């Protein structure tokens, strides 16, 4: 992990938050390449979960919601972790992580466990203590409260899903492991509404589909698995949960949870809001749908793609660091590297750069040896480097160097955009 954190800082992927002020623990900022990578993760999810599916629509609901939402959802009462402090060394622990009755760090005496609500509280308006609101701890509730709006404004038919990507906030007792567990993070969540007798089938379909999504984007299949939760460890709203887990350097950990939330949320919102939240089928029957929820963390997925693609191998005699990211995820898709800065090579290379840069994120780099320039692109996972030299220009071609096996192919300039398009999508 140390190598990956260092690479992220050095190459503008992820920076420590508020660094010039000494930082703020467990906050991270995505740099120029990091924001492209994270956006690509979100785009891949949005394309695969919404754009390519006729049965899923999108949503972007607000972070601040009427506090009654959190009463109805159970978060005000149930979204707590037991918190334990060491009286000697003052370290703080999640009660669930403690086995004996002594501090795991220094052996000191521990306080009684206190239930601690993970929601961040804030005030709306100028008067402290009035008009309390919460930063949402999950995006899901924004979907449930808009269930009726979506039914009334679209032509969705059950089974159907409502998907959204957005920020969520949790005052975690034990954040850490880089971007794995933070206070502020992004989720991609989908609530898939089904007839109750179809819920088990949809649950197993979605667990398989979500596992397949990560593998399809390049995650090594031996490093990812499905992990069903024991019944004793289910969230207050769930009948069944299976996690998608990835083997990070710090151990197997949850990337995403797929839950059968039953009709819990819609029923609760009916009770608290007084609105009827039912689906009317073709025969006019009012149905209380069950909900299958694949809920993942954008930052965790991004971290898994980074960790999984990271490799150190050899380029000739030199060691190179390379991110073997799936082309859909790579921050920069193509780098244009003229072998000399002189006419007519550099102007031609610039012309090629200009012709491609509206289609993909493309970089132009003419500084340093070609070896150094390849290394820079390898480190951020650029799948294709296009070099231009005098010889190429005689045949109106370029040489494309492939990131993973470093093989080279000569491609006609007139064909380059098509050649790239068929490999990048
Ligand atoms: N709506 C259900 C829900 O929120 P969750 O398992 O608590 O379920 C879903 O969260 C996903 O959100 C997790 O699988 C994880 O990827 C991400 N996540 C949760 N807490 C996080 C945190 N503190 N930092 C980063 N990601 C987090």
Contact between 357 and 334 under an 8 Å Cβ cutoff? The reply is: no
The domains located in the chain, with CATH, are 2-64+126-306 (3.30.930.10), 332-424 (3.40.50.800)
On the question of pLDDT at 313 being above 80, the answer is: yes
pTM of the full structure: 0.95
Question: Which among 169, 183, 164 has a CA at the least distance from the CA of 134?
Answer: 169
**Ligand 1 atom at shortest distance from the alpha carbon of 254:** 14
123: enclosing H helix or E strand: strand 121-123
Packing angle between helix 416-424 and helix 345-356, nearest 10 degrees? 40
Share of the chain above pLDDT 90, in %: 84
Place of tokens 């698995």: 225
Residues making up the chain, counted from first to last: 425
Give distance in angstroms: CA of 245 to centre of ligand 1: 12
Share of the chain above pLDDT 70, in %: 100
For a ligand 1 pocket test, name from 172, 187, 192 the mutation site with the most ligand atoms within 8 angstroms of its C-beta. Answer: 187
- What would the mean pLDDT of 190-216 be, rounded to a whole number? 98
Nearest CA to ligand 1 atom 19: 297
**Ligand 1 atom at shortest distance from the alpha carbon of 137:** 4
On the question of pLDDT at 420 being above 80, the answer is: yes
Q: Whole-angstrom Cα distance, residue 355 to residue 357?
A: 6
- Mean pLDDT score across all residues of the chain: 95
Give distance in angstroms: CA of 140 to centre of ligand 1: 11
Q: CB neighbours (10 Å) of residue 82?
A: 16
pLDDT of 129: 67
pLDDT of 115: 86
pLDDT of 233: 84
pLDDT of 114: 86
Phi-psi region of 177 (alpha: psi -120 to 50; beta: other; left: phi over 0): left
Q: Which residues line ligand 1 (CB under 6 A)?
A: 138, 140, 170, 172, 181-182, 185, 187, 189, 254-257, 293, 295-297, 299-300
**Ligand 1 atom at shortest distance from the alpha carbon of 243:** 14
On the question of pLDDT at 289 being above 70, the answer is: yes
Nearest CA to ligand 1 atom 7: 138
pLDDT of 336: 98
Nearest CA to ligand 1 atom 17: 297
Tell me which DSSP letter residue 237 carries: T
- In 3-state terms, what secondary structure has residue 220? coil
- What would the mean pLDDT of 204-217 be, rounded to a whole number? 98
Question: Which among 75, 95, 74, 73 has a CA at the least distance from the CA of 84?
Answer: 95
- What would the mean pLDDT of 310-321 be, rounded to a whole number? 93
pLDDT of 128: 67
pLDDT in tens, 119-136: 999 999 877 667 899 999
CA neighbours closer than 13 Å in the CB half-sphere of residue 207 = 21
- In 3-state terms, what secondary structure has residue 145? helix
On the question of pLDDT at 93 being above 90, the answer is: no
Q: Whole-angstrom Cα distance, residue 296 to residue 237?
A: 17
Residues 6+ apart with CB under 8 A from 22: none
pLDDT in tens, 120-176: 999 998 776 678 999 999 999 999 999 999 999 999 999 999 999 999 999 998 889
Q: Which two tokens stand for residue 101?
A: 């009755």
Contact between 117 and 132 under an 8 Å Cβ cutoff? The reply is: no
pLDDT of 95: 82
Query: From residue 49, how far is each of 81, 123, 171, 188 by CA, in Å?
Result: 32, 35, 29, 10
Give distance in angstroms: CA of 296 to centre of ligand 1: 6
Residues 6+ apart with CB under 8 A from 176: 26
Higher pLDDT among residues 83 and 203, named by residue: 203
Q: CB neighbours (10 Å) of residue 299?
A: 22
Contact between 73 and 191 under an 8 Å Cβ cutoff? The reply is: no
**Ligand 1 atom at shortest distance from the alpha carbon of 170:** 23
Give distance in angstroms: CA of 5 to centre of ligand 1: 21
Question: Which among 216, 183, 425 has a CA at the least distance from the CA of 305?
Answer: 216
Q: Which two tokens stand for residue 258?
A: 């797929």
pLDDT in tens, 319-343: 999 999 999 999 999 999 999 998 8
Give distance in angstroms: CA of 73 to centre of ligand 1: 16
Q: Whole-angstrom Cα distance, residue 272 to residue 394?
A: 74
Place of tokens 């919404």: 50
Per-residue b/e over 142-174, b at no fewer than 16 CB within 10 Å?
bbbbbbbebbeeeebebbbbbbbbbebbbebbe
- In 3-state terms, what secondary structure has residue 148? helix
pLDDT of 210: 98
List the Cα angle 94/95/98 in 5-degree steps: 100
Residues 6+ apart with CB under 8 A from 69: 141, 145, 269
Q: Whole-angstrom Cα distance, residue 213 to residue 247?
A: 16
Q: Read off the pLDDT band of 82 (50, 70, 90).
A: confident
- What would the mean pLDDT of 55-62 be, rounded to a whole number? 98
């Amino acid at each position: 992990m140390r190598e990956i954190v260092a690479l992220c800082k050095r190459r503008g992927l992820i920076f420590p938050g508020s660094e010039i002020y000494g930082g703020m623990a467990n906050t991270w900022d995505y740099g120029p390449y990091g924001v492209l990578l994270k956006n690509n993760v979100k785009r891949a999810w949005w394309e695969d979960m919404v754009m390519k599916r006729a049965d899923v629509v999108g949503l972007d609901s607000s972070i601040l919601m009427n506090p009654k939402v959190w009463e109805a959802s159970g978060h005000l009462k149930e979204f707590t972790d037991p918190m334990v402090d060491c009286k000697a060394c003052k370290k703080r622990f999640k009660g669930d992580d403690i086995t004996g009755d002594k501090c795991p760090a220094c052996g000191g005496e521990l306080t009684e466990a206190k239930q601690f609500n993970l929601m961040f509280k804030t005030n709306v308006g100028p008067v402290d203590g009035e008009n309390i609101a919460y930063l949402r701890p999950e995006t899901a509730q924004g979907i449930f409260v808009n269930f009726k709006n979506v039914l009334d404004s679209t032509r969705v038919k059950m089974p159907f899903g409502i998907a959204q990507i957005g920020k969520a906030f949790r005052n975690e007792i034990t954040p850490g492991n880089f971007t794995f567990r933070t206070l502020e993070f992004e989720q991609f969540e989908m609530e898939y509404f089904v007839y109750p007798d179809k819920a088990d089938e949809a649950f197993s379909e979605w667990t398989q589909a979500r596992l397949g999504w990560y593998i399809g984007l390049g995650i090594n299949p031996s490093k990812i698995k499905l992990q069903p939760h024991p019944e004793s460890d289910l969230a207050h709203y769930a009948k069944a949960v299976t996690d998608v887990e990835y083997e990070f350097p710090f151990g197997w950990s949850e990337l995403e949870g797929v839950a059968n939330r039953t009709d819990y949320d819609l029923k609760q919102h009916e009770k608290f809001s007084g609105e009827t939240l039912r689906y009317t089928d073709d025969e006019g029957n009012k149905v209380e749908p069950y909900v299958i929820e694949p809920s993942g963390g954008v930052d965790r997925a991004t971290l898994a793609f980074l960790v999984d693609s990271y490799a150190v191998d050899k380029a000739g005699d030199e060691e190179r660091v390379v991110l073997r990211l799936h082309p859909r995820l790579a921050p920069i898709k193509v780098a244009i590297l003229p072998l000399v800065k002189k006419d007519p090579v550099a102007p031609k290379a610039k012309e090629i750069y200009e012709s491609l840069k509206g289609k993909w994120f493309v970089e132009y780099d003419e500084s340093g040896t070609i070896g150094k320039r390849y290394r820079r692109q390898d480190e951020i996972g650029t799948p294709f480097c296009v070099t231009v030299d005098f010889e190429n220009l005689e045949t109106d071609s370029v040489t494309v160097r492939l990131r993973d096996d470093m093989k080279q192919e000569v491609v006609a300039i007139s064909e380059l955009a098509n050649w790239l398009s068929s490999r990048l999508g």
